[in-house]
Each structure stands twice: as C-alpha cells, then as structure tokens.
C-alpha cells in the first residue's frame, strides 16, 4: 500500500500531461505483461496438447500393429500349425497353402507413423513384418514347386519311367524338400520375432498409458 500511495502522490505532484503519460506507460507495461503471459500459457497448452496427441497416436499405432499380427497369427495357426509341426527332417511340406498379397493392411497404411516410433518399438514391428513376409514368399514358392513336382510325375508316367524324366522329378522333389525345411525354420524364426516383438511393444504400451494417466491427473493438462 505504501508504494501505491507514494506513486499516487508523485503523479499528483507533476503536471497533468506528464501524469497522463506516466499512467499510459504503466498501463502499457502492465497490459504487455498480461499479453505475454497469455501467449506463454497458450503456447504451453498447445505444446502439451501436441505431445498428448503424439502419445495417443503412438499408442494406437502400436496396438494396431499388434492386433493385426495377432489376428493373422491365429488364422495361420488354424490352417497350418499342425502341418508345419509335422514336417520331418528331409521331408517336404506337400500341402498347398493359398495365400495372396495385401495381408498387412494396417502396417502398409501406417508405415510413416510406425517409422516415427521409438527405436526399439519401431525395430520390433518392422522385424515381425519382415519375417512374416519372408515366410509368405517361401510358402508361395513351395506352392509353385508342389505343382511343378506333380507335373514332373505325370511326365514320368507319360514317358514310361524314362531316366531323364525320373531324374527331373527327383530334382524337383529335392527342391520341394529344401523349401519344406525352410518353411519349418522360418516359421520358428517368425514366431520368435513375434514373441520378442510383443514383449517390446507391451512395455511401450505400458509406458505410454502411464504417461497419459499422469497427464490426466495433472491440473495443467
């Protein structure tokens, strides 16, 4: 109160035009301070909002990728797990597994967002899909070689077990065996990539959800 009283006395002791000038200057300074404070808080709120939206997007991307892989793995297990487990050493997988393209819709549509994830999560997601694609390509090749081997056997019968056609059929069978063994091996590698990747993704989901929970309980948010 003393400071305000002294200021008031000072303003009354100087000419009116000078007093008006001082009053205007004080008002401008006070108004400017409030404007700066408003800009600061607005910028702070905008930053917090952007950070929250980024966390929510990361969370949805990780959950989406995890969900897509889980669904595809369930379908794959339903159709092929028993057959792959039954592949013996030196034996082929003599079962056609019809599989097309466009199996990874979520991954392909969100590749840019996946690339923005933290290193461990990003690498885990990419590794899973890389192994899965390798497995798919091996199945496609195996399907082709099954047909080729069947055709070679038909040629053997047509040509009365001619040595040339028998040898050709044997070569195609050996290639079929190699791919059957490759499927069993890549199947195991893919499952490990999924298991390890899900562990990383789950930890990141927990971290993000915890961070969002803290922000929800913070009065500044």
- Mapped onto helix, strand or coil, the DSSP state of residue 135 is helix
Q: Give the span between the Cα atoms of 208 and 51, in whole angstroms.
A: 11
Q: pTM of whole model > 0.85?
A: no
Q: Residue ranges of the domains in the chain?
A: 55-217
| Tens digit of each residue's pLDDT (9 = 90 or more) over 46-56 | 677 778 888 89
| Tens digit of each residue's pLDDT (9 = 90 or more) over 56-102 | 999 999 999 999 999 999 999 999 999 999 999 999 999 999 888 88
Q: Which residue has the tokens 């000078």?
A: 18
Instruction: Give the tokens for residue 181.
Output: 């063994």
Dihedral sign computed on CA atoms, order 191, 197, 202, 205: negative
Contact (CB, 8 A) for 83 and 146: no
φ and ψ of 115, to 5 deg: -65, -20
């Amino acid at each position: 109160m003393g400071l305000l009283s002294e200021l008031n006395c000072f303003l009354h002791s100087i000419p009116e035009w000078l007093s008006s000038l001082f009053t205007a200057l004080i008002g401008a300074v006070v108004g400017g301070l409030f404007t700066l404070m408003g800009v600061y808080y607005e910028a702070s709120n905008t930053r917090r909002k952007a950070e929250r939206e980024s966390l929510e997007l990361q969370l949805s991307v990780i959950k989406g990728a995890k969900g897509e892989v889980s669904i595809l793995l369930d379908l794959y297990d339903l159709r092929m797990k028993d057959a792959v487990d039954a592949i013996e050493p030196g034996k082929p997988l003599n079962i056609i597994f019809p599989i097309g393209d466009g199996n990874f819709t979520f991954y392909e549509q969100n590749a840019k967002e996946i690339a923005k994830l933290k290193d461990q999560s990003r690498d885990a997601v990419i590794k899973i899909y890389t192994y899965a694609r390798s497995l798919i390509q091996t199945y496609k090749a195996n399907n082709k070689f099954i047909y080729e081997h069947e055709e070679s056997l038909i040629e053997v019968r047509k040509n009365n077990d001619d040595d040339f056609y028998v040898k050709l059929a044997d070569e195609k069978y050996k290639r079929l065996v190699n791919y059957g063994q490759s499927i069993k091996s890549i199947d195991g590698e893919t499952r490990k990539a999924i298991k390890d990747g899900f562990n990383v993704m789950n930890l990141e989901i927990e971290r993000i959800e915890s961070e969002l929970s803290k922000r929800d309980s913070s009065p500044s948010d």
